[in-house]
Amino acid sequence: MRPGRRLGTSRRRERCRRPASARALPQSREGRRLSQFVQYLFYGITVGSIYAAVAIGFNLIYCTTGVVNFAQGEFVILGGMTAVTFSRYLPLPVAIAAAVVVVMGCGAGLDMAVFRRLRNPSILRMVVITIGLSIVIREAALHIWDEKARALPYFTGNETTSVQVFGAGVSPQVFWVLGVVFVMVAALHAFLKFTTVGTAMRACASDVQAAMLAGINVANMRTFVFALSAGIGALAGCVISPIAMTQYDGGASLAIKGFAAAVLGGLGNHTAAAAAGILIGLAEGFSGYLLPAAYKDAVAFAILILVLFLRPRGLFGSREVGSQREF
């Protein structure tokens, strides 16, 4: 009998009975379904954590400076591209560190060259400016590199190395991505919560005037936030590069998905934004069950539109924050 979707219960029982050594052997149909499920799961969490990194960067900039930065995805691409170039001359960890620093400089430069000069711009003006900037960065990337997709080498092993998880082969790079993004989120949380500078940063986000009167140099803090946010994007771009390849024009779709995650999480809440990013990644991954792969990108947009219609303050956003911060 062919195991259909209805046979969920018996399938589960059979999985339990199968000895561990059987995983490597030719699998039954159920085994393949399970391993396919695990594949989708890991795919979803992996791309989702990149969306999470973009969403957090987006959130940080929006909360502290009020800038809706649609160029956030470009930081990811720039990070990956720069690291690939540096890795030709430098050992991998050094190349990545250098790329992150360079992109942080780009973020800071962007603020000093553009946003510092704007006084109380409207949201619409800002969206137009940042989309314009993202196009400029993309074209610059096309000039500096070319239209070819590039990848960093795998951090551990190579493209054929895999770790068996429930019969599915998962690249060790996936664990690098998850680990690095998790550490970034945790470190950011600790920084904001437990350091004086982090507290000052939250003060800028909460009430600029109060922050200024307390002696916080708000202009420099903004530049710092742009740099920090760019650095988060760039590091995410480096860890994902071996599996997802980096191409000059990947930024725009990352920005939209990161934005969707930030809105879904309720603007202002970094942990929620990270969770929402992973949720969107999972939705995208599992959409593979139902939809042709070409529709993958539509999933994030559908979620974004639904959230904007039904719950503009986001899934986890509080009513108070939402009333100030909805779009």
Query: Contact at 8 Å (CB) between 318 and 270?
Result: no
Q: Is 195 in the site for another protein (CB under 8 A)?
A: no
Q: Is 206 in the site for another protein (CB under 8 A)?
A: yes
Output 116 or 150, the one with its CB closest to another protein: 116
Contacts of 115 (CB under 8 A, 6+ apart): 65, 67, 222, 226
Q: Is 202 in the site for another protein (CB under 8 A)?
A: yes
Chain centroid to CA 295: 20
Whole-number minimum distance, CB 214 to another protein, in Å? 5
Q: Is 203 in the site for another protein (CB under 8 A)?
A: yes
E strand spans, 51-152? none
Output 158 or 217, the one with its CB closest to another protein: 217
Question: Which window, 29-37, 44-52, 134-142, 192-200, contacts another protein (CB under 8 A)?
Answer: 192-200
Contacts of 206 (CB under 8 A, 6+ apart): none
Structure tokens at 302: 């559908």
Residue 315 main-chain phi, psi, to 5 deg: -65, -40
Which positions from 115 through 144 interact with another protein, judged by CB under 8 A? Answer: none
Task: Choose which of 5, 21, 196, 294 interacts with another protein (CB under 8 A).
Answer: 196
Whole-number minimum distance, CB 266 to another protein, in Å? 13
Q: Is 211 in the site for another protein (CB under 8 A)?
A: yes
Whole-number minimum distance, CB 201 to another protein, in Å? 10
Whole-number minimum distance, CB 268 to another protein, in Å? 8
Q: Is 323 in the site for another protein (CB under 8 A)?
A: no
Secondary structure class of 315 (helix, strand, coil): coil
Query: Contact at 8 Å (CB) between 60 and 225?
Result: yes
Q: Is 186 in the site for another protein (CB under 8 A)?
A: no
Q: Is 38 in the site for another protein (CB under 8 A)?
A: no
